[in-house]
Amino acid sequence: MPPINPGSQPPTRPLTAEQAWRATAERAERCVLFFDFDGTLAPVRDDPTTVEPAPKALAAINALTEVVQRVAIVSARPVEFLRDRFAGLDGVDLYGLYGLEHLHASGETITEEAALPFVPTMAELSDRARAELPAGALVEYKRLSVALHYRTAPHLAGEIERWGRTQADRLGLRVQVGRMVLELKPPVDRDKGMVIGEAVRSAGCAWYFGDDVSDIKAFAALRAREAADPDFFGVCVAVANPETGDEVSTAADLTIESPEALGDFLTEAVHRLT
Ligand SMILES: O=P(O)(O)OC[C@H]1O[C@H](O[C@H]2O[C@H](CO)[C@@H](O)[C@H](O)[C@H]2O)[C@H](O)[C@@H](O)[C@@H]1O
């Protein structure tokens, strides 16, 4: 078992990785494993289009689909982007754009209907962002949301955030902050917490792995499920990074150092659960 970095904050309850995998093994056929993508399964890069999952994590996820009830990716990326990265892994469910899209067992991508009227709004917003934001801002158009990145130009953070919030007010959109990014989304009630809350209704066990503030709602959904059913076993795992700070680790049971270390952790999990 690789060392678990407990982070600068203690877990919210005493739980070792050993104990967690043992309890999971007892319920493996009713267990769901949820993974955030960027910063969790995939190391962060300057260019969002070039990102790929860490190879060890991908191989372990493939093996885990044979061991647990379900494996799912829950991301702010579009399903189409995720499908390219997890091609060939039929046993992996994909939730994209914070759950506005989902795809199960290589069927068709389903889009939340309430979000569809915002397709033209997002196209217009993306064009306007490219025209009005200074050089150095990176605009990522995602059909139902637009991400305004400043990773390679951190001095623009304030200007980009102000511009994004003004546009959100103008167009009636919601704002989601992330790692060196501000994202504009439709005003539709859909987030990672809601996705997880619905997906674990009939599960006996679930893990959620995440690195960013939007993942904390998913942790909360597991806590709520556990509070409602003492037989349910939930585990929240943070993947550490210098940008999010302690917020995610503080809310987690376990903290892992990086996406690469997560690959080692999951490889060990395959052995523990088989
Ligand atoms: O829910 P996630 O899968 O974690 O997606 C969150 C955002 O991830 C991407 O941005 C982040 O990763 C980029 C590539 O490593 C990095 O350049 C950027 O600074 C990070 O914020 C993605 O591009 C966004 O659309 C997602 O909202």
Q: What is the pLDDT of residues 13-41, one digit of tens each?
A: 678 999 999 999 999 999 999 999 999 99
Number of domains in the chain: 2
The answer on 195 and 173 residing in a single domain is no
Residue 215 has pLDDT above 90, yes or no: yes
The answer on 224 and 127 residing in a single domain is no
The answer on 220 and 174 residing in a single domain is no
% of the chain residues with pLDDT over 90: 89
Q: Which atom of ligand 1 is nearest to the CA of 192?
A: 1
| DSSP SS3 for 142 | coil
CA atoms of 195 and 199, how far apart (whole Å): 6
DSSP label of 12: S
- Per mean pLDDT, which of 13-22, 88-97, 152-161, 243-252 is the most reliable? 152-161
To 10 degrees, the CA torsion angle through 19, 266, 240, 33?
-80
Task: Name residues whose C-beta falls within 8 Å of residue 244's C-beta, 6 or more positions apart in sequence.
Answer: 179, 211, 212, 213
CA atoms of 184 and 166, how far apart (whole Å): 11
174, 159, 82: which is closest to 122 by C-alpha?
Answer: 174
| Catalytic residue check, 36 | yes
- Which of 137, 163, 185 is the last residue in one of the domains? 185
CA atoms of 193 and 99, how far apart (whole Å): 9
**What radius of gyration, in Å, describes the C-alpha atoms of the chain?**
18
The answer on 147 and 86 residing in a single domain is no
Q: Which atom of ligand 1 is nearest to the CA of 178?
A: 21
Q: What is the pLDDT of residues 110-169, one digit of tens each?
A: 999 999 999 999 999 999 999 999 999 999 999 999 999 999 999 999 999 999 999 999
Phi then psi for residue 196, to 5 deg, are -70, -45
Asked if residue 212 has its Cβ within 6 Å of ligand 1, the reply is yes
Asked if the structure places residue 8 within a domain, the reply is: no
Q: Which of 35, 36, 37, 38 to mutate to test the pocket of ligand 1 (most atoms within 8 A of CB)?
A: 38
Q: What is the 149 CA–ligand 1 centroid distance (Å)?
A: 9
Lowest mean pLDDT among 103-107, 143-147, 249-253: 103-107
Kind and range of the H or E element at 149? Answer: strand 146-149
Q: Which of 180, 181, 219 to mutate to test the pocket of ligand 1 (most atoms within 8 A of CB)?
A: 181
The answer on 226 and 254 residing in a single domain is yes
Asked if the structure places residue 245 within a domain, the reply is: yes
Asked if residue 85 has its Cβ within 6 Å of ligand 1, the reply is no
Asked if residue 46 has its Cβ within 6 Å of ligand 1, the reply is yes
Residue 168, domain extent: 116-185
Predicted complex: ipTM over 0.90: yes
Mean pLDDT, all residues of the chain: 93
Q: What is the pLDDT of residues 158-207, one digit of tens each?
A: 999 999 999 999 999 999 999 999 999 999 999 999 999 999 999 999 99
| DSSP SS3 for 89 | coil
Asked if the structure places residue 11 within a domain, the reply is: no
CA atoms of 144 and 74, how far apart (whole Å): 16
Is this structure's pTM higher than 0.80? Answer: yes
Residue 4 has pLDDT above 90, yes or no: no
Residue 57 has pLDDT above 80, yes or no: yes
Give the other-Cβ count within 10 Å of 73's Cβ.
Answer: 26
Residue 7 has pLDDT above 80, yes or no: no
